[in-house]
Amino acid sequence: MSEIDNVTGLPNGVALLSILENLQPWSALPTGFAVHLVYIQHPRQGKVRHPGDGADAILIEVARRLRRLASSEDIIAHYGNDKFLVVKFSDEPVLRGKLFAISLRNELSMPIRLDCGAISVDATVGTVVHADDSGTTEMLLQLAEAALHAARCEREVDCNCCYTMSLPYSIENDKPAQDLLTAIKSRQFLLYYQPIVRATNREVEGFEALLRWSSPEHGMVPPSEFIPTAERTGMITPLGSWVLTEACKEIAVRSPTQCIAVNVSPVSLENGDVATDISTALNVSGLEANRLAIEITEAVHLNLTNSVARQLNKISDMGVRISIDDFGTGYSSLSTINAIPVSCIKIDQSFTRKITSDSTSKIVVQTILEMADRLSICTVAEAVETEEEASIMTGMGATALQGYLFGRPLPAQAAFGNGQAFHAGIGLGVS
């Protein structure tokens, strides 16, 4: 069987498999590498192919551009009809991998000149970064397909998707990671929405989007059970981008004024490009930036690197608000409120639970609320379940309340369909 594609002169998919196999053991390679699966869409696609019809000329030109971008030690293959694959070696595969994916898209989107005129090609790139793990060729290609799939489905504006795989083991022996990958590929995720009400009049000012995995095997799985897997495998990056876009689209369609709060993982802030994800989500949905808030946990404070701080400032400059989630837990240092542009503090549910019975908790909350007020930072009391908790929090100056008293997290239709019913806590879903 031929191993060279006769249009482009590049190794084909079969050849690629043996090239990747021959590089094993990957852990012994002098550098890491990133695999970029490039999908080309163009107006001549699917047309009957004969020499000179333009379709072949497009593939030849794409191959020429890929050769120009790659270095001599990199691997380029014509992976399938309209798919190419580039293996790029680098000492810094995560950073270089991301940058290379962007340059691939930029380069391939330049018009291609044909005899019949210039045409534009749409390139989508799915990237898997292989930093220091073992792993199999099959797993690598599977992940590249998943990354491409995520890029095509979820990233309508910025068509790149990067998975970071720097696992000390193979996904083959990791059932949770395999299940999560399957779930991402088959789109088993959905968002629930929980109302956040203004403390003074109990009107719904916005919603928090909460991720759920509807698993055919395990039923509705809460984030606490799969986010850790998503974070350690890097799958949090495509998942987090999807959540942002989906939540922005939903609120833009459902309400002209209410806001949406989206949880962003510290791992995405450290490894991903959340600012780009946010501008994509705003572009795709048409949502005004000031109607989006991202919620970050205090864990971020522990790791407030320059790049995370820069990213948060960029996000804030876009007009998007930043909330500190579960405030008061973890190892917070109040001075970090200075280091990032915080708009809102969400008081952890452990305080709300104790507010009616424990005077120390009450003093702590009172102090946090006074500090926030003086800094013009808004406050949300989390997990308010009783009228008594609501009135104590309101009396002490919390600006907003969230919890079962006002509405449980519900699927979009149920949450927004009854938006008015949530008023004054008489809503459906309140228990």
Please tell me the distance from the alpha carbon of residue 245 to that of residue 243, in angstroms, as a whole number.
Answer: 6
Report 396-425 residues binding ligand G (CB under 6 A): 403-404, 409
Q: How many residues bind ligand G (CB under 6 A)?
A: 14
Q: Which of 164, 236, 326, 381 binds ligand G (CB under 6 A)?
A: 326
**226-285 binders of ligand G (CB under 6 A):** 263
Min. distance of Cβ 299 from Mn ion in angstroms?
A: 13
Neighbouring CB atoms inside 10 A of 291's CB total 21
Q: Which is nearer to ligand G, 61 or 326 (CB)?
A: 326
Write the burial class of residue 28 (CB in 10 Å: 0-12 exposed, 13-18 middle, 19+ buried). exposed
> Is-contact 202 196, C-beta < 8 A?
no
Contact status: 385 vs ligand G (CB under 6 A): yes
Using CB under 5 A as the binding rule, whether residue 325 contacts Mn ion is answered as yes
For ligand G, give the closer residue by CB, 135 or 419.
419
What are the C-alpha distances in Å from 190 to residues 95, 222, 277, 402?
A: 30, 11, 18, 21
Task: Rank residues 13 and 330 by Cβ distance to ligand G and give the closer one.
Answer: 330
Q: Which stretch binds Mn ion (CB under 5 A): 142-150, 197-205, 257-265, 312-320?
A: 257-265
Nearer to ligand G, 26 or 404 (CB): 404
Comparing CB distances to ligand G, the nearer of 104 and 293 is 293
| CB closer to ligand G out of 61 and 389 | 389
Among ligand G, Mn ion, none, the one that 326 touches (CB under a kind-dependent 5 to 8 A) is ligand G
Segment lying near Mn ion (by CB under 5 A), choices 169-177, 266-274, 288-296, 306-314:
288-296
- Closest approach, Cβ 80 to Mn ion, in A, equals 41
| Nearest residue (CB) to ligand G, 12 versus 349 | 349
In one letter, which amino acid is 41?
A: Q
Regarding 210 and contact with ligand G (CB under 6 A), the answer is: yes
Q: Does 263 bind Mn ion (CB under 5 A)?
A: yes
Q: Which of the choices ligand G, Mn ion, none does residue 203 contact, using the CB cut-off of 5 to 8 A by kind? A: none
Greatest CA span in the chain, whole angstroms?
82
Closest distance of CB 295 from ligand G, Å: 6
Partner interacting with residue 404 (select from Mn ion, ligand G, none; CB below 5-8 Å by kind): ligand G
| Of the candidate residues 237, 325, 415, 422, the single one contacting ligand G (CB under 6 A) | 325
CA 348 to chain centre: 24
Out of 82, 205, 246, 295, the only residue in the binding site for Mn ion (CB under 5 A) is: 295
Smallest gap, in angstroms, from Cβ of residue 204 to ligand G? 14
Interacting span for ligand G (CB under 6 A) from 119-127, 133-141, 361-369, 379-387: 379-387
Binding to ligand G (CB under 6 A) within 6-65 occurs at none
Q: Are 8 and 82 in contact (CB under 8 A)?
A: no
* Among the residue ranges 50-58, 139-147, 251-259, 380-388, the one whose residues contact ligand G (CB under 6 A): 380-388
**How many Å apart are CA 27 and CA 74, to the nearest integer?**
17
Nearer to Mn ion, 316 or 323 (CB): 323
Closest among 180, 165, 69 to 123, alpha carbons compared: 69
In the bound state with Mn ion, the residue whose beta carbon lies nearer, of 127 and 263, is 263
Q: Identify residues 133-192 at the interface with ligand G (CB under 6 A).
A: none
User: Which residues bind to Mn ion, rule: CB under 5 A?
Assistant: 263, 295, 325
- Binding interface with ligand G (CB under 6 A): 194, 210, 263, 295, 325-326, 349, 382-385, 403-404, 409
